[in-house]
């Protein structure tokens, strides 16, 4: 028995060592760590928690996966001339999105430089194609271009921007600073905003969002949580980059223009044929007009839709307070039932019209108000 005792003790010690280092999951290294510190990082409690997302996160992922292949990068090249007659290429970048499997792409007019640029479209798979311009619409900062990819392309669904409400989630995809396929999220911050573009045009009815929009996002889609396009990312407030004030053209405006292009093959521009000045207050009273004021017709072109509707220009001109003023002209006080509030009231209404549309005017003539309906003409195509 004494002979076996060392072997029994040795076996017991080996069994104890195996238990301590395996079955009990002891970490002998802890004995030698200062303060008994554990591992400096931790891992998920279970493998099942890896790859799962919150509902809102999963929605972001699903919308992005459904829209990224239909969102494109657009590079434009315009050749300019220096003071010394040297010609150099100026390159710009923006975004767009495919609206039909045949390769039609909607973007901003300023992304394509008003139709003067040579355009290259890069798809999500990094394949590039030269693009041709189908139409540009400076009034609404829209353009439709087309590529021939030799295959059907994924396209986005156009939603209903009239159903957009403040507070709903939106997602923007684009090419900010050249980083293609970038997703940002936010909410609709406000509706019906009016902003002024760099070329002093006004864009009305814009969707405001705090989703990060930066240079290069222009022309890309603003999506709702179902992946429908509700706006076209167009502008930011200020030149310093994203500060949470981005603006998108409501998609319903683009849908109306796309429908007109499909029906007519071009985008019509309305014509009226008058020149006006805004008068109100004391100046209006000097001319025996209502102090609330309106647009005074200074000239009526002949022939024109305004002349056909019987609008009157001045019968004579008088000098008052060193100003040459028209007398006997019609004063336009309302347009389509909305009061005239400034010099740009007529232009704002015309921006929503097309050739052949009717425009209702309320005019003040010979001491009384009356309504006149004008059928707008269509400007020649450029």
pLDDT tens-place string over residues 301-329: 888 898 898 888 888 887 766 777 778 88
User: What are the extents of the domains in the chain?
Assistant: 72-80+90-146, 161-264, 270-378
- Respond yes or no: is residue 141 known to be catalytic: yes
Q: Is the pLDDT of residue 8 over 70?
A: no
CATH code of the region 161-264: 2.40.10.10
Catalytic site includes residue 76 = no
The residues that bridge with 277 in the sheet, in sequence order, are 296
The radius of gyration of the chain from alpha carbons, rounded to an integer in Å, stands at 33
Confidence band for 88, pLDDT divided at 50, 70 and 90: very low
Q: Are 72-80+90-146 and 161-264 in the same CATH fold?
A: yes
Catalytic residue among 95, 110, 210, 224: 110
Q: What is the pLDDT of residues 133-192, one digit of tens each?
A: 999 888 889 999 999 999 999 999 999 998 999 999 999 999 888 888 899 999 999 988
Nearest to 203 by CA among 163, 258, 264, 246: 246
Query: Residue 194: left (phi > 0), alpha (psi -120 to 50), or beta?
Result: beta
Among 218, 268, 330, 345, which one carries the catalytic annotation?
Answer: 218
Who wins on pLDDT, 336 or 381? Answer: 336
CATH 3.30.360.10 applies to domain 270-378: no
* List 76, 95, 137, 141, catalytic entry: 141
Q: Give domain 72-80+90-146's CATH number out of 3.20.20.140, 2.40.10.10, 1.10.760.10, 3.30.70.2190.
A: 2.40.10.10
Give the number of other Cβ atoms within 10 Å of residue 22's Cβ. Answer: 9
Burial of residue 148, with CB atoms counted within 10 A of its CB: 0-12 exposed, 13-18 middle, 19 or more buried: exposed
208 and 193 Cβ atoms separated by less than 8 Å: yes
């Amino acid at each position: 028995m004494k002979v076996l005792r060392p072997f029994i003790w040795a076996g017991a010690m080996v069994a104890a060592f195996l238990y301590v280092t395996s079955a009990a999951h002891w970490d002998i290294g802890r004995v030698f760590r200062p303060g008994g510190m554990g591992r400096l990082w931790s891992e998920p409690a279970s493998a099942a928690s890896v790859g799962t997302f919150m509902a809102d996160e999963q929605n972001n992922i699903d919308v992005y996966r459904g829209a990224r292949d239909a969102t494109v990068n657009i590079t434009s090249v315009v050749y300019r001339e220096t003071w010394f007659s040297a010609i150099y290429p100026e390159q710009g970048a923006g975004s767009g999105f495919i609206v039909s499997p045949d390769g039609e792409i909607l973007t901003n007019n300023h992304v394509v430089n008003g139709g003067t640029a040579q355009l290259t479209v890069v798809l999500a798979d990094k394949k590039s194609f030269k693009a041709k311009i189908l139409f540009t619409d400076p009034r609404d900062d829209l353009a439709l271009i087309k590529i021939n990819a030799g295959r059907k392309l994924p396209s986005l669904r156009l939603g209903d921007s009239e159903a957009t409400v403040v507070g709903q989630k939106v997602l923007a995809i684009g090419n900010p600073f050249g980083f293609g396929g970038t997703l940002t999220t936010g909410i609709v911050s406000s509706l019906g905003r009016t902003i002024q573009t760099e070329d002093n045009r006004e864009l009305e009815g814009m969707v405001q969002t705090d989703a990060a929009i930066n240079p290069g996002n222009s022309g890309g889609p603003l999506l709702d949580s179902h992946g429908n396009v509700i706006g076209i990312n167009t502008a930011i407030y200020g030149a310093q980059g994203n500060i949470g004030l981005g603006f998108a053209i409501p998609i319903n405006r683009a849908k109306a223009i796309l429908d007109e292009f499909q029906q007519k093959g071009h985008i019509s521009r309305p014509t009226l044929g008058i020149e006006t000045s805004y008068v109100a207050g004391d100046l209006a009273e000097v001319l025996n007009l209502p102090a609330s004021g309106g647009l005074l017709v200074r000239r009526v072109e002949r022939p024109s839709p305004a002349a056909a509707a019987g609008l009157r220009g001045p019968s004579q001109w008088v000098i008052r307070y060193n100003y040459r003023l028209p007398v006997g002209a019609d004063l336009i006080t309302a347009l389509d039932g909305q009061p005239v509030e400034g010099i740009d009231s007529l232009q704002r209404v015309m921006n929503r019209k097309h050739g052949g549309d009717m425009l209702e005017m309320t005019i003040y003539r010979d001491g009384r108000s009356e309504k006149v309906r004008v059928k707008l003409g269509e400007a020649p195509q450029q």
